[in-house]
């Protein structure tokens, strides 16, 4: 390699200038040299004119012997030190990689990763205001119960994909809960990336447990009516849920003013979601208002109920007023289910949310296409409907095949009609 001479000082392949040792720098790359007896920085520029700084590698004593440290300047010109290297070669390799990230604009302060997961999580939780209250509450619950106990005091720069994988694989919770917990941790680390504290997210790309497919129950209209009859004064609510596909929160937020009896339609603009121990009123799940079709018989029942309340009042309330809570075990819903199953041993138990699946089955059986079902259920798009209820549309394929087969028969008759077949 050709030698360079600057201000009388000679730079060789492994020369010494001002008590500093360094590797040779190609000619024309070195544009400025600053040296002192105490050591110094070596500003240089690459072929594109971008300034970067060479590092100084020095040994120091530790209780276990000698180690090496790298001294350099960050893109802002601040002095930085990275130490703890066992050999000079390790320090040099790190220094070279660090210089490359500075030149390419990918540099991340190594000390920035010393912040803990808990320190990143606090401001991240405060940014969830754009989410629906129920989703925001879920994230907080998952953080406090699943993520915080294991990761709160862990420095984000020390997290490896293998650590996250082990955590996911040994959590011992349901697949859905594990996926929720992983999602929260991954989003917190995404926030750290956005703040340039780490370069990559170690939580992304790990293997997650497969979701357990939801067992969907489909009733006949006769079974739905039999169960609704066991629900007493809430018969109309059950029939509405089981035929329209409304979510529980959408149904209990309904008012007489939301009914359109001339068209047998209901306008869905509100959703009552459980948040903590209370109920918060918000928009539907997809944030979009929609209009759903209602059977005339059900509409008549809703109108009858609406006669006894004000236009803006709730159609259904709890025994003590206020929101009608989602029924669980040992409630009126559970009691009605047990009675209906005694009357009909073939009846399969459903939850209040399961009535939404019942409605989907009845809609498809009545001839509704995928797009109509999607709009009725309030899915973001028809692909969601197909993914969730693919099995409901399989029979339709059989009908299509039969129709096409009939077409072949008609074509054959036309082709050979009145013409003697050649043998």
What was the pLDDT predicted at 321?
A: 87
Residues 153 and 116: beta-carbon distance below 8 Å: yes
What was the pLDDT predicted at 3?
A: 37
Q: Which one of 90, 108, 126 terminates a domain?
A: 108
Together in a domain, 301 and 255: yes
- In the numeric block, the tokens 């409304």 are attached to 246
3-state secondary structure of 38: coil
What was the pLDDT predicted at 403?
A: 66
Could you tell me which of 90, 131, 101, 125 has the C-alpha nearest to residue 196? 101
> Alpha helices of 147-220 — where are they, by DSSP H?
148-151, 161-169, 175-194
Asked whether residue 162 is assigned to any structural domain, the reply reads yes
Asked whether residue 415 is assigned to any structural domain, the reply reads no
CATH number of 132's domain: 1.10.150
Together in a domain, 12 and 58: yes
**d(Cα 240, Cα 114) in Å, to the nearest integer?**
55
Q: Which one of 55, 77, 108 terminates a domain?
A: 108
- Containing domain of residue 151, as a range? 117-194
CATH number of 288's domain: 1.10.443.10
**d(Cα 241, Cα 389) in Å, to the nearest integer?**
17
Number of structural domains, the chain? 3
Sort strands 20-21 and 16-17 into parallel, antiparallel or unpaired.
Answer: antiparallel
Asked whether residue 202 is assigned to any structural domain, the reply reads no
Together in a domain, 183 and 38: no
Together in a domain, 20 and 91: yes
What was the pLDDT predicted at 280?
A: 84
- In the numeric block, the tokens 């869905």 are attached to 268
Together in a domain, 185 and 278: no
What was the pLDDT predicted at 360?
A: 94
Per-residue tens of pLDDT for the chain, all 423 residues: 333 333 333 444 433 433 344 444 433 333 333 333 334 444 443 333 444 456 889 999 998 899 999 988 887 778 888 888 999 999 999 888 888 888 877 777 777 788 999 999 999 999 998 888 888 999 999 999 999 999 999 999 999 999 999 999 999 999 999 999 999 999 999 999 998 888 899 999 999 999 887 889 999 999 999 999 999 999 999 999 999 999 999 999 999 999 999 999 999 999 998 887 888 888 888 778 899 999 999 999 999 999 988 999 999 999 888 999 999 889 999 999 999 999 999 999 999 999 999 999 999 999 899 999 999 999 988 999 988 898 888 655 666 666 666 766 655 554 444 444 444
Together in a domain, 93 and 130: no
Together in a domain, 146 and 266: no
Together in a domain, 41 and 146: no
What was the pLDDT predicted at 350?
A: 96
Asked whether residue 156 is assigned to any structural domain, the reply reads yes
Q: In this structure, which long-range contacts are made by residues 164-173, counting pairs with CB atoms below 8 Å and at least 24 apart in sequence?
A: 164/202, 164/203, 164/206, 165/206, 165/207, 168/206, 168/207, 168/208, 168/209, 169/207, 171/146, 173/146
Rounded to 10 deg, the angle between the 117-125 and 175-194 helix axes is: 90
Asked whether residue 213 is assigned to any structural domain, the reply reads no
Together in a domain, 242 and 153: no
Together in a domain, 144 and 225: no
Q: Find all residues with CB under 8 Å of 117, minimum gap 6, and list them.
A: 147, 151, 152, 153, 154, 156, 159, 185, 188, 189
Q: Which one of 89, 108, 127 terminates a domain?
A: 108
Asked whether residue 245 is assigned to any structural domain, the reply reads yes
- In the numeric block, the tokens 């799940």 are attached to 285
What was the pLDDT predicted at 419?
A: 46
Backbone angles phi, psi at 203, to 5 degrees: -85, -15
Together in a domain, 15 and 144: no
- In the numeric block, the tokens 């390699």 are attached to 1
Asked whether residue 215 is assigned to any structural domain, the reply reads no
Could you tell me which of 212, 219, 188, 210 has the C-alpha nearest to residue 201? 188
Q: Find all residues with CB under 8 Å of 47, minimum gap 6, and list them.
A: 29
Together in a domain, 153 and 39: no
Asked whether residue 201 is assigned to any structural domain, the reply reads no
């Amino acid at each position: 390699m050709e030698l360079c001479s600057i201000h009388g000082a000679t730079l060789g392949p492994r020369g010494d200038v001002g008590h500093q040792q360094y590797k040779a720098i190609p000619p024309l790359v070195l544009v400025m040299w600053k040296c002192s007896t105490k050591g110094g920085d070596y500003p240089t520029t690459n072929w594109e004119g971008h300034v970067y700084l060479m590092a100084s590698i020095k040994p120091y004593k530790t209780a276990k012997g000698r180690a090496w440290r790298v001294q350099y300047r960050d893109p802002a010109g601040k002095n930085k030190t990275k130490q703890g290297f066992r050999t000079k070669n390790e320090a040099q390799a790190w220094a070279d990689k660090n210089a490359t990230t500075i030149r390419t604009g990918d540099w991340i302060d190594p000390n920035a990763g010393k912040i803990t997961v808990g320190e990143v999580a606090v401001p991240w939780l405060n940014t969830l205001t754009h989410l629906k209250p129920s989703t925001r509450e879920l994230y907080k619950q998952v953080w406090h119960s699943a993520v915080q106990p294991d990761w709160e005091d862990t420095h984000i720069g020390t997290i490896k994909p293998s650590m996250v994988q082990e955590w996911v694989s040994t959590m011992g919770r349901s697949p859905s809960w594990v996926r929720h917990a992983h999602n929260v941790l991954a989003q917190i680390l995404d926030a750290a990336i956005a703040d340039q504290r780490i370069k990559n997210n170690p939580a992304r790309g790990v293997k997650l447990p497969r979701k357990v497919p939801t067992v969907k129950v489909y009733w006949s209209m006769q079974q739905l009516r039999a169960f609704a009859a066991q629900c007493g004064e809430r018969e109309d609510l059950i029939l509405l849920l089981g035929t329209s596909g409304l979510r529980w929160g959408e149904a209990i937020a309904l008012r007489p003013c939301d009914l359109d009896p001339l068209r047998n339609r209901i306008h869905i603009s509100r959703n009552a979601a459980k948040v903590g121990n209370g109920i918060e009123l918000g928009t539907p799940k997809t944030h979009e208002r929609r209009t759903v079709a209602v059977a005339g018989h059900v509409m008549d029942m809703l109108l009858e109920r609406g006669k006894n309340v004000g236009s803006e009042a709730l159609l259904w309330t709890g025994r003590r007023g206020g929101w009608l809570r989602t029924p669980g075990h040992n409630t009126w819903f559970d009691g009605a289910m047990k009675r209906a199953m005694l009357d009909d041993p073939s009846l399969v138990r459903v939850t209040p949310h399961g009535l939404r699946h019942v409605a989907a089955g009845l809609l498809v059986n009545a001839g509704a296409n995928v797009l109509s079902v999607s709009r009725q259920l309030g899915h973001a798009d028809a692909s969601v409907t197909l993914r969730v209820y693919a099995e409901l549309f399989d029979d339709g394929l059989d009908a299509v095949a039969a129709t096409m087969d009939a077409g072949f028969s008609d074509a054959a008759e036309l082709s050979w009609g009145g013409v003697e077949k050649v043998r």
